[in-house]
Structure 1
């Protein structure tokens, strides 16, 4: 993600955006002068087209007229890599008329960076097989509209779930079924839908000859071709009338049928999939006809082949989810809004087709096993670092970095800036979803010189996302306060309307964070990134506490041990995914490295003696990198050959517990517990005792 050599074309938007060419060029370290027009979309359009023809890549500081300017670029035959950024509303107008050059420089500096490193793609393929599920009236009505408007692109299928007496169409134009207990799973191009047959008449096999209607003595069958169970007395005259067709089978009621589809329009109330972010290709617009119409319009666009980035990477070797069927960390599963993550043995499995790229899983992961890959935290941190460097080079003072979502947040900020301008000290940084902004990015922004880091979310954000962000910020605030910095340096705001956002930005606490800018590049590995940030902050802190107490759930801390209960069986060492707990090699010793501990609790849940407990805290620097011995014991030596093979405490405990067992009733068997493996076998061969059976065990 290096600085690209791109031509820059700016517009003062009829003189409403003050642009200081020299300050911006100096701040961005440009060799060529900036091209600035007053009306790129009008009077200066011809000159703009001419300049574009000479540049392989270009940045245009206008998004309002991007459609027109892109057409001009295409006509000029140049700048195939032209990109557009909103300078006017996001940086060019300041509330209170303050200097906007630092904000302009920072935004341009971010735009000059290249694209993040490519990641593997996730592919979808849809041939247009659409299933409409819902009450008969609504489902058949929208099937008729879909067939009429989009029959050339969509293959319509209907599954009615509430037979309200709606007559079936006079012509068979699509497969039709009825059912109950419907389940939907999968994603665009690969949905699997299962349902139980709820009626004796198979609507897909029925030829609608009306023989069953005429034969039914109770009048239990109407022109919806379904049997009214309340009126049917079981004479089965309809079955005889339909014998040649075979569409009526009362024994088939309750049987399960499954089919696959590319797209699903779910008109059920409530929806069949009730999660914050349903899968691609699934639409549940509810009962609002307008929303149903909009859903159908979106469905038509989802025919063909599609790709998206694989947003995550996962390393099972350091995942703290489970060990030996003992539960540890479950945070990524709990926070995922798409149900894309499930338990998979000692680790987890992420279905990339369901993942929407929110990044909350990576935010809450304590070990860094789950990592946000596109863009990575390193890429986002580089954008922040580059922007703040340009901000300062343009003469800017204290800056507040505000992380916001690329679409919703960008639009809200632009609308707010268009009205009265954004605060002059605000530096917006777009991310795919603010749920991906974890503690390492928050602290990195402060380390790179931001006076404050703010997270902007919206009311429709899943509740778990907000809780995750707050938990991360709370840890950061605790650490900052303990080090003598202001805890106000980390803030979260939620807004959905421009006036609301403007008010909340105005009411933010004063930005007072003062830390010399760091020069490091944020490592890709999460624990390493946090260590870099924390050590930089500690280096410039006014307070130097030995340890900082943290809230439960923090990913840092110690393991406390009851040495009287611990037998040094080393079960905890085998369970620890982060190598924080280690054995002593040839000596009976339990060692601990605090910098590695993620407080997952696997050691506590695994310990057979209940000898361990967690202590959330943070130690920064050499003390955290120094191994300590939690417990050690006198080695036990074989009573025959004197070889050390365990601890005296463990052998004594085992001897005491097994002394009452029938297999160890005689002294020889009990004495073998005090022998090493080799001597134990030799002794059994020399002194064969009574035969034992499985009933003695």
Structure 2
């Protein structure tokens, strides 16, 4: 690699010593460094395992050690000589502390494995794990071995749900043969004249005509009883291996502990599947990736459903609607940490907890600021996953070293994230505000289709913001690459673009609240914008910004929308019959429109940049209606007149009752009791 220690040291503001043979030869130098105290960054990951072991065995080693790959990501590329600013940025980010710990989700598995499939297939698979796992087979036909090695269940599967350590199987056992009593002597198979009994020892009711020769043949074991009623049974398992052609779980991200391998594919998938199953005995933990704040949620109010974005995008079906509490419910055991829900959530009610927004923002700001201070130009932030994306990026680097690819361009800064769907418009706009000319999100085919749709929608919103402010060019790109050739070509096309960016990079930190981060990014982008229009149109789908329009002829100022709004965008006025609106707060969830009994409200996606965006403005107001008894205003003239018109023909609201509709609450009670007293005096 054409490294320049002087340039890197200047960019990082520290003295650097170049070690050019960190593969193994300079292990001794590494030992000396880690005994000296202070943080140590090893700028190579090839021998990460070896150096980590050396660190553990070195007596007196006190320095924390971190590893960063600058070889495939920068040093091995056609323009590696220009990559010093990027390498400095990667080294600077490697010095950042690890994210703060978060609550964890615990799984406990005792190794109870359910294998579903034809008997011969299930027994073949079970034999590979039976020395470690407690196997039970649910037969789906076929011929099993004569020796009964595992418990066998049979019948109709009604439901299979759960996750690692907590799967629940519900089935109906309606077959005349009790598999627990059956000794597999095959006497019933021989005796049956219709060949209705297979070697899975279940009777095919469609073939059986009632000879009952099998019952006579099974006299000793007594396993066959045609009078036995069907039983609904339930049993729990820790792991499931499903060999059927169609899986039990149809979602893209299936529960941990569930493996679907059609029997036809077993030969190719047997080894990796068996290895995974054998490892899943014990106690396991994963981070609780999300945090949920119900008070910010725009899902439901007053039994009306507004925003469903998180439910629709979740590929694990971990998010459901809790109608009783008027909120969403996230099953932490099913959550796979993709973060797509946090990306599409307009309010920030669901936020990504590991790493936090602040930690992600610090890393992005460190990468970009170091790159720019080292003299780099037009940085492109490439977001990729820690597994498939990281492997593909490194593959492109190795191909460049061999001369068969261009490699990662000098101005493309790779940044790994747990999942590429976990970052959205708030982070992307913040990255541009911090100096990125482009943000590219790399997908490798492992993502759920709805994730790609959500990312495109979010990119359309972010692009609309920058385009409306006069920042020319395309700033956000969804890269879909499955091979190194695809990625290499896409990156070369990407870096030919030079979209406009703010003249001065921002220095703010990402806030814990999504809306607060958006406001910080917008303020900076507007300050340096080539254009400052009053209004920027937004796409019809996915916009977190917008206004509401009220049809004044239909609105009765009942204020149902005020109680429904989760963001305090729609407000009332305690002193006057007014409907007011603060556009900065609006998240375009639509709850106000769905709640309005007069259907007087419509949404208008847009970004208002005028000062009025932060101020309350009156959407509708009306003449107050005064109580006919005390004169105190208690409603609007239009609302009371509408009520009188609707109830005028009702037999319950005639005479004095109709007059009470024109009174405030206090006078209505007084009038009712006064009328009661008059009746009592008349009776006396």
- Cα deviation for residue 690 of structure 1 reads 14
Helix, strand or coil for the counterpart of 2:53? Answer: helix
Decide which of 365, 373, 376 is 1:396's aligned counterpart.
376
Q: Relative to structure 1, is the Cα distance of residues 342 and 244 closer, same or farther in structure 2, using a 3 angstrom cutoff?
A: farther
Helix, strand or coil for the counterpart of 1:663? Answer: coil
Structure 1 runs, 4 residues or longer, greater than 6 Å off: none
Q: TM-score, normalised by structure 2?
A: 0.93
In structure 1, how many angstroms separate the alpha carbons of the residues matched to 2:392 and 2:522?
33
> Does residue 370 in structure 1 map to residue 344 in structure 2?
no
Match of 2:135 in 1: 156
Match of 1:280 in 2: 256
- Cα deviation for residue 320 of structure 1 reads 0.8
In structure 2, how many angstroms separate the alpha carbons of the residues matched to 1:551 and 1:251?
65
Decide which of 464, 479, 504 is 1:478's aligned counterpart.
464
CA contact (8 A) 1:198 1:254 kept: yes
Residues 115-514 of structure 1 mapped to structure 2, 5 A cutoff:
115-147=98-130, 151=131, 153-161=132-140, 163-164=141-142, 166-170=143-147, 172-197=148-173, 199-210=175-186, 212-213=188-189, 216=192, 218=194, 220-239=196-215, 242=218, 245-252=221-228, 254-286=230-262, 287-288=264-265, 289-345=267-323, 346-420=326-400, 421-508=407-494, 509-514=496-501
In structure 1, how many angstroms separate the alpha carbons of the residues matched to 2:288 and 2:54?
34
CA offset digits 1:611-633 (Å, max 9, x no partner): 11111100136321110011111
CA offset digits 1:623-644 (Å, max 9, x no partner): 2111001111111111111121
- Cα deviation for residue 133 of structure 1 reads 0.7
Structure 1, 471-480 or 86-95: larger mean CA deviation: 86-95
In structure 1, how many angstroms separate the alpha carbons of the residues matched to 2:614 and 2:554?
27
Q: Relative to structure 1, is the Cα distance of residues 232 and 477 closer, same or farther in structure 2, using a 3 angstrom cutoff?
A: same
CA contact (8 A) 2:298 2:306 kept: yes
CA offset digits 1:248-304 (Å, max 9, x no partner): 343557532221111111111111112111011111122312213321111111111
- Cα deviation for residue 243 of structure 1 reads 6.0
Q: TM-score, normalised by structure 1?
A: 0.92
Unaligned runs of 5+ in 2: 401-406, 680-684
CA contact (8 A) 1:182 1:272 kept: no
Match of 2:682 in 1: none
CA offset digits 1:477-500 (Å, max 9, x no partner): 111111110241112211011111
CA offset digits 1:642-676 (Å, max 9, x no partner): 1211111111111111111112233x221111011
Aligned residues: 665
- Cα deviation for residue 466 of structure 1 reads 0.6
- Cα deviation for residue 141 of structure 1 reads 1.6
In structure 2, how many angstroms separate the alpha carbons of the residues matched to 1:531 and 1:504?
32
CA offset digits 1:155-185 (Å, max 9, x no partner): 1111112x13x03441x33211122335321
Residues 477-626 of structure 1 mapped to structure 2, 5 A cutoff:
477-508=463-494, 509-515=496-502, 516-553=504-541, 554-620=543-609, 622-626=611-615
CA offset digits 1:87-133 (Å, max 9, x no partner): 11112233234412111111011110001121100101111111111
Q: Relative to structure 1, is the Cα distance of residues 417 and 215 closer, same or farther in structure 2, using a 3 angstrom cutoff?
A: closer
Match of 1:114 in 2: 97
Q: Relative to structure 1, is the Cα distance of residues 448 and 578 closer, same or farther in structure 2, using a 3 angstrom cutoff?
A: same
Match of 2:8 in 1: 24
Unaligned runs of 5+ in 1: 1-16, 692-697
Q: Relative to structure 1, is the Cα distance of residues 354 and 222 closer, same or farther in structure 2, using a 3 angstrom cutoff?
A: closer
Q: Relative to structure 1, is the Cα distance of residues 377 and 486 closer, same or farther in structure 2, using a 3 angstrom cutoff?
A: farther
In structure 2, how many angstroms separate the alpha carbons of the residues matched to 1:295 and 1:690?
86
Match of 1:694 in 2: none
Decide which of 64, 72, 87 is 1:104's aligned counterpart.
87
Helix, strand or coil for the counterpart of 1:35? Answer: coil
> Does residue 91 in structure 1 map to residue 74 in structure 2?
yes
In structure 2, how many angstroms separate the alpha carbons of the residues matched to 1:460 and 1:251?
51
CA offset digits 1:19-72 (Å, max 9, x no partner): 222222222223xx3232121224322222332333464221111122332333
In structure 2, how many angstroms separate the alpha carbons of the residues matched to 1:102 and 1:572?
53
- Cα deviation for residue 455 of structure 1 reads 1.0
In structure 2, how many angstroms separate the alpha carbons of the residues matched to 1:442 and 1:434?
12
Decide which of 640, 654, 665 is 1:665's aligned counterpart.
654
Match of 1:636 in 2: 625
Structure 1, 632-641 or 87-96: larger mean CA deviation: 87-96
In structure 2, how many angstroms separate the alpha carbons of the residues matched to 1:394 and 1:449?
13
Structure 1, 605-614 or 129-138: larger mean CA deviation: 129-138
Structure 1, 325-334 or 33-42: larger mean CA deviation: 33-42
In structure 1, how many angstroms separate the alpha carbons of the residues matched to 2:195 and 2:515?
72
Structure 1, 97-106 or 331-340: larger mean CA deviation: 97-106
Q: Relative to structure 1, is the Cα distance of residues 22 and 621 closer, same or farther in structure 2, using a 3 angstrom cutoff?
A: farther
- Cα deviation for residue 678 of structure 1 reads 2.3
> Does residue 654 in structure 1 map to residue 643 in structure 2?
yes
In structure 2, how many angstroms separate the alpha carbons of the residues matched to 1:200 and 1:408?
50
CA contact (8 A) 2:582 2:615 kept: yes
> Does residue 76 in structure 1 map to residue 58 in structure 2?
yes
Helix, strand or coil for the counterpart of 2:568? Answer: coil
